[in-house]
Chain A
Amino acid sequence: MIKHVPIVLVAIPLLAAFMIPMIGMINRTARTVIGAIALVIILAASYYIAGDVLNHGRIFYYMVGSSNPEIVTEHGLTFPIRIGLKIDSFSLFFIIMTTTLVFIFYLFSIQYIEENERKNYFTVLFISMVAGMMGLLVANDLFTFFVFLEILSISSAALVAFRTERKHPPYAGYKYMFISAVATSFFLLGIAFLYAQYGSFNIDYLKEAVRGTLLDKIAIVLLIIPLAMKSGVVPMHMWIPDTYSEAPAPISAMVKLGSLICLYGLFRISFSFGLSHAHVSYPLGVLFIVFGILSMFIGVTQALVQKDVKRLMAFHAVSQVGYMLLGMGVGLTVVRAGDASFALFGKVAMIGGLLHVVNNALYKGLLFLTSGVLVRHFKTRNLDAMHGLAHYDVFTTVVFMIAALAISGIPPFNGFVSKIIIYESVFQYNPVLTLIAIFVSILTLASFMKVFYSAFLGMPSNKRPMEQPVLIKCSMIVLAFFIVVIGIYPHGILKALIEPAVNALVNF
């Protein structure tokens, strides 16, 4: 049965999503429970295969609909004819991160979103979003990747516009849908250019076939730019502030996770098609570094001037993506430049970049959740109008402190670990890049000091905050716990997850 895990990861959330409208008509509790069960099943499945993949280096292949799903090429052909799914340690790293985090966000949303008939559709779209993410992560086929990218973006766009009674959320949803639609259209164009030459969509097959001609380069650019656009890299980041600030808090966290998964696609495609040819991989790496530096700097400078707490966090999301791109870009530039420099710092930079992905998902998710609590208490997003939450709500204060210190890279928390790894390795590539990164980190600390000062300190507000519901508290405690654990003992996750992932990426 273990061979069916790749399809189970996608099909179980889809099945739950299809059944929820029927079940929701009968019983509301059953609907919520079914969603939770689906998420628990994929969580268990992803941990179930973790040992096989990470320790024994097993790679799961699954050809959907084939009579022997583990055989990639049927009937003695040299190319696959069916849709392939694949789980190796790189995708498993993202799968474990995603299944864990979506379960936490789901717990948060159960009590955060008010209970009425619309919550049926909310649950459906939430579970479909998870299915889209899982489909992206297991797909080994460019067109399947495209279809699940659409599933992810359409359900996110609808959820961004969830608060239809307010003025701006529909327009924010429109903007996000528009950006996604254009991006995925160009992604399809890139697929068309590859299909025209090689007649296949399978990523592994195309990796062998791609020769690095001019047409291939055009196709790779057409595949990479849309994914960069969807992950919010700076020249294409105009959708981020609106989307993140207008969405309900758990959806902001989910859209953030979705953009990290688009980053997964970006890495996967660029490493698959770039590595075999140095004249492709080097410019790609430089492109990543330029994108990374721009994102870090412009994101944080824009965040400094914001007065809206959710917009501020949205710009920090842009800036944090820059660190990951910087680490991976440095790795990509030197991976074929000669083994000496790669062994010296390239691999370490990639480890830092990937560790920053999971760290960022943790503390950014926690920040968005706390911002939801803040907005719900103060009934405004304006920082000037907030004051004195620390007098009453110690729990939210502590949780926010943990997340804010983690994002600024202060030692006992996880942000420090990944940032120091990135600083050290990038320093050997080019010291100026490290200086910029440290400077950005200081500005991050400054802007979160501002949030802390205005929202938590100062005169206590007249209204006592209501006690947070238990599931909201639980989900935030779990996230904070992960942040602290990774900060204190990073070797566990580095050895268990990140290093196998980087090894798989290099050998793509």
Chain B
Amino acid sequence: MRLFSVVAIVILFGFLFVGILHLHPVGEALGNSEVLQGRPEQGIDINGVSTMDDYFLRNGQIETKSNNIVASVVFDYRGFDTLGEATVLFIVVSSISMLFFTFLKSKSIVSAGVPPAGQFPKIESRVISFGSFIMYIMILSFGVYLVVHGHISPGGGFQGGSVMASATALLLISFLITRHMQRTRKIFSFFESMGLTIFIGLGFAGITISFLYNFLAHTSSGFGRIIAFGPNQGYLISAGILPLLSLAVGIEVFFGLSLIVVTLFHASGVKDTNSLR
């Protein structure tokens, strides 16, 4: 068995090594790299566009009205993948809730160092409780900033949502919300599926043309404001449905990750007397 594994590793290593040798050198990606040269101000320009990425770089800003081309790829051109990715997160949250359901409900749980659910621990230090509350507000607002500005600067629903979920983890380790564990989980679960329903609802809103069609970007005011091609200072209300999708994903990721953190924290904080034996 061990010999077989070694042989398999060597074969795979050889495969990859040969593959890497035949690849293009690092730093010389496909397509041509100039973005602005000879670019008309409006309208789709496909002169000299030889790959998918060239098209995104040259026309993404005009077509989706988003300054962040990565965001326009994530939410517009490949929005269906993002829906699938959000679904993966949703599935994992449901799985974790399902798997730990009987574990957390069982009566035989005893405390193991960490305060058990249902008892509000006595917070030793005012500094910890007040400090973590301040930090909580700050982390949360930074996360909201990342979510809301996803289409004009680095960030977006996933990144901002995970930043916000880390605030939940801070609350947990400073023992601020161990009291209403069950109810907290229910609320989180509700908002998580609400975020995803908003996402897929926005997808269905454009179904007269196609699913996940960026219908707001084709108006010329509000979210569809016309943006000249090239660098600008960034407009918060722009990019069609991308900010809304980003917001929906942000809600989903925040509540989903918080639910995972809360459930696993709760599960590791209790130790049962092993009902099997």
Contacts and interface: CB of A to CB of B under 8 A. Distances in A.
Interface of A: 4, 7, 11, 14-15, 17-22, 25, 62-69, 75-77, 79-83, 117-118, 121-122, 124-125, 128, 131, 135, 143-144, 147-148, 150-151, 154-155, 157-158, 161-162, 164-165, 167, 170, 193, 196-197, 199-200, 213-215, 218, 221
Contacts of B88: 147, 150-151, 154
Given A77-B46, A128-B91, A154-B88, 17 more contacts: A15-B197, A18-B200, A21-B189, A62-B210, A65-B76, A65-B206, A67-B210, A67-B218, A69-B209, A81-B56, A122-B98, A125-B94, A151-B87, A151-B88, A164-B99, A164-B100, A213-B22
A75 B44 contact: yes
A135 B83 CA distance: 11
Contacts of B91: 124-125, 128, 151, 154-155, 158
Contact of B193 (A4, A22, A66, A157): A22
Interface string B154-184: 0000000000000000000000000000000
A14 B200 contact: yes
B46 A76 contact: yes
B101 interface: yes
B233 interface: no
Contacts of B24: 196
13 contacts: A14-B83, A19-B197, A66-B210, A81-B52, A81-B56, A122-B98, A125-B95, A131-B87, A144-B80, A155-B91, A165-B275, A215-B19, A218-B19
Given A65-B213, A77-B49, A82 B102 contact: no
A81 B23 CA distance: 23
Nearest to B101: A118
A65 B102 contact: no
A13 to B, nearest CB: 10
A124 B51 CA distance: 39
Nearest to B212: A65
Interface of B: 15, 18-19, 22-24, 30-31, 44, 46, 49, 51-53, 55-56, 76-81, 83-85, 87-88, 90-92, 94-95, 97-103, 186, 189-190, 192-194, 196-197, 200, 203-204, 206-207, 209-214, 218, 275-276
For chain A, what secondary structure do more than half of its interface residues adopt (helix, strand, loop), or is it mixed? helix
B6 to A, nearest CB: 16
B254 to A, nearest CB: 16
B141 to A, nearest CB: 28
A79 B50 CA distance: 9
A121 B97 contact: yes
Given A193-B19, A218-B19, A21 B94 contact: yes
Given A11-B204, A81-B77, A199-B52, A147 B85 contact: yes
B31 A162 contact: no
Contacts of B203: 11
Contacts of A7: 210-211
Contacts of A82: 77-78
Contacts of A64: 79-80, 210-212
Given A11-B204, A14-B200, A135-B84, A63 B193 contact: no
A4 B197 CA distance: 19
A208 B24 CA distance: 21
B190 A21 contact: yes
B190 A147 contact: no
A162 B87 contact: no
A66 B214 CA distance: 8
A19 B196 CA distance: 9
A69 B210 CA distance: 6
B159 to A, nearest CB: 19
Contacts of B78: 82-83, 143
B103 A15 contact: no
Q: Which of A79, A121, A167 has the most CB of B within 10 A?
A: A121
Contacts of A164: 99-103
B209 A67 contact: yes
A158 B99 contact: yes
Nearest to B83: A14
A482 B96 CA distance: 37
A30 to B, nearest CB: 14
Contact of B98 (A79, A162, A215): A162
A429 B220 CA distance: 65
Q: Which of B46, B80, B194, B210 has the most CB of A within 10 A?
A: B80
A405 B207 CA distance: 48
A124 B206 CA distance: 25
Contacts of B275: 165
A75 B59 CA distance: 11
A99 B167 CA distance: 42
Nearest 7 A-B pairs (CB), nearest first? A158-B95, A121-B98, A199-B51, A147-B84, A69-B210, A18-B196, A7-B211
B210 A144 contact: no
Contact of A65 (B55, B79, B186, B192): B79
A193 B77 CA distance: 21
Nearest to B192: A21
Given A147-B85, A154-B92, A121 B101 contact: yes
A81 B94 contact: no
A487 B209 CA distance: 44
Contacts of A213: 22
A504 B207 CA distance: 29
Contacts of B30: 196-197, 199
A155 B95 contact: yes
Contacts of B190: 21-22, 25
A221 to B, nearest CB: 7
B210 A63 contact: yes
B94 A4 contact: no
Nearest to A7: B211
A221 B15 contact: yes
Q: Which of B19, B55, B79, B97 has the most CB of A within 10 A?
A: B19
B200 A11 contact: yes
Contacts of A83: 77-81
Q: Which of A21, A135, A164, A197 has the most CB of B within 10 A?
A: A21
